[in-house]
Structure 1
Amino acid sequence: MIIAAQEFQRLAGFGIVSGLLVFARVGAAMVTMPGYAQGFVPVRVRLAVAFAFSGAIFPAVADKLPAPEDALDGAAMFAVELLCGSALGMFLRLMMLALEIAGMMIAQSVSLAQMFGGADSEPMPAVSHFLLMAGLAFAAMLGLHLRVAEALVLSYDAWPAGGVPDAAALEAWGLNGVVVAFSLAFSLAAPFLVLATLYNFALGAINRAMPQLMVMMVGAPAVTGALLLLLGLLAPGLLSVWHGSFAAVLADPFLAAP
């Protein structure tokens, strides 16, 4: 009976340590994860979500967690889990930053970059707010929580618990995410940038032909109104393109990972 009690105590201790390891990775991811880590989400909600995700994915990764004697010791193990969770959250957050960057490009092209900006912890133009909130709502409707849970489970294959990720491979993976985010942002803003550029060239030609006409007083409201109308027409298509890229990243977030 004493041997059985000792074995039970050992298994219980291992279960607690394993649960804390999972919570460390999930909690770190929730601090930077798109949607759950936005400035308007209360800290208590993030903590509750982290506990919920930890309980959901623990059964799926229990067999991938290291035994105490096979893993790094103490604080080092938890530090590695925090690093892995933060890296995953930031990588996925880059896709939301693509919407924000695209909104900033569009706002700059229509002379609204300094108007109607946000006053919260993440100030940005109104166009960026619109695209970001629409993208979050779109992703939530299409099962963002399920895809995030899948990505967290996959992270234990890319970065086994108890091991240190390769720094060079981690750097290449992060740079690949930055390239993808900026490429996507420019692709989303490209129609507005092209139209604004052509319109400004037209205004320059008119100004050369009619110097007495104050073309900026006439042209600026026109281009702003036209591009805002274009944003209303193209927003559903832009969000569909963005979500396709976001879904592809969520389906295989560790394509370039070690």
Structure 2
Amino acid sequence: MNFSLSTLIPYTESYFLVFSRLFFFFLFMPGLVSVFVPGRIRLLMALSVSYAAAPMVGLSPSFSLLTCVKESFFGFFLATVIRILFEGVSMVGGVLSHQSSFGNAMGSALTQETEDLFSSFCTLYFITLFFATELHIVLIRGVMNSYDIFPIGSEFVYGDVSSSVVHYLAQGFEAAISLAAPFLIFGVFYHILLGLLNRIVPMLPVIFIGHPISLFIVLTMLMICISRFAVVFSEIVSRFAEGFFA
């Protein structure tokens, strides 16, 4: 039996093209983009998943530097759209900080950027839900299905990219509003009540009295609603994966 290394060239090219897309996807995937996840871990994940995915994708029709760049951009685009959705959902923390008058307390959960404690908590909570409910498996399966929509070597339509980014940015903002709706309603009535109280009793320090009350009410509402957050968040990500990768 004669064996030549030249027979491995098409398989190597196909593997490298699959790796180009998956590497950039894992490089910017939510939860893995943290400074606490070393780059070599993301590299090993991309290498292993590419090794399993390459036979399913099949041999590539052509191999060139331009094709590698296109595949890398596809992976970057898929991860960026998912991160846009996560950033939109994480806006709930900003709403909580504003309504609880606790926005000056700063901390950091997954990044080196300083943010308020509620935003840091929500980011860490949603990332934990993302992995605990195996939604990352849903997204990885969706990325594999993306080869049916965007085969290797397909042209990238930049107009569709911009419209998709705007669409999913709006979807993430809508998800954040739906999650933060109880706190927004509380904030409206709370500030109206403070305004009326200040008019009725001008000498009363309403800010001094109102801050502890608002913090207590927001924490109580968060304790009640946090289990519902998990259900709504799972539905949002699953619906996103089904709609985007279908």
Q: Above 0.5 in TM-score?
A: yes
CA distance in 1 between partners of 2:143 and 2:165 (Å): 17
Counterpart of 1:136 in structure 2 is 127
CA distance in 1 between partners of 2:108 and 2:86 (Å): 16
Deviation at 1:236, TM superposition (A): 1.1
Q: Does 1:214 align with 2:205?
A: yes
- Deviation digits for residues 170-213 of structure 1 (CA, Å, limit 9, x no counterpart): 22222111110111111111211110121111010011001011
CA distance in 2 between partners of 1:38 and 1:182 (Å): 22
Counterpart of 2:19 in structure 1 is 23
Q: Assess if the C-alpha contact under 8 Å between 1:25 and 1:86 holds in 2.
A: yes
Map 1:49-88 → 2, pairs under 5 A: 49-62=45-58, 65-68=59-62, 74-88=64-78
Q: Does 1:118 align with 2:112?
A: no
Q: Assess if the C-alpha contact under 8 Å between 2:89 and 2:173 holds in 1.
A: no
Q: Assess if the C-alpha contact under 8 Å between 1:91 and 1:177 holds in 2.
A: yes
CA distance in 1 between partners of 2:195 and 2:136 (Å): 50
CA distance in 1 between partners of 2:129 and 2:52 (Å): 23
Counterpart of 1:159 in structure 2 is 150
- Deviation digits for residues 212-252 of structure 1 (CA, Å, limit 9, x no counterpart): 11111111111111112211211110221111111111233
Give the one of 161, 165, 176 matched to 1:185: 176
Q: Percent identity at matched positions?
A: 25
Q: Assess if the C-alpha contact under 8 Å between 2:29 and 2:83 holds in 1.
A: yes
Q: Does 1:95 align with 2:66?
A: no
Deviation at 1:99, TM superposition (A): 2.9
Deviation at 1:24, TM superposition (A): 0.6
The amino acid that maps onto 2:69 is A
CA distance in 1 between partners of 2:210 and 2:131 (Å): 39
CA distance in 2 between partners of 1:44 and 1:53 (Å): 14
Secondary structure of the residue aligned to 2:33 is coil
Q: Assess if the C-alpha contact under 8 Å between 1:98 and 1:181 holds in 2.
A: yes
The amino acid that maps onto 1:232 is M
CA distance in 1 between partners of 2:157 and 2:89 (Å): 30
Counterpart of 2:222 in structure 1 is 231
Counterpart of 1:205 in structure 2 is 196
Secondary structure of the residue aligned to 1:252 is helix
Distance 1:114 1:11, change over 3 A: farther
Counterpart of 1:40 in structure 2 is 36
The amino acid that maps onto 2:25 is A
The aligned length equals 245
CA distance in 1 between partners of 2:211 and 2:141 (Å): 47
CA distance in 1 between partners of 2:136 and 2:198 (Å): 53
Give the one of 149, 152, 162 matched to 1:171: 162
Deviation at 1:44, TM superposition (A): 1.8
Q: Assess if the C-alpha contact under 8 Å between 2:135 and 2:234 holds in 1.
A: no
Structure 1, unmatched stretches of 5+, are: none
Secondary structure of the residue aligned to 1:253 is helix
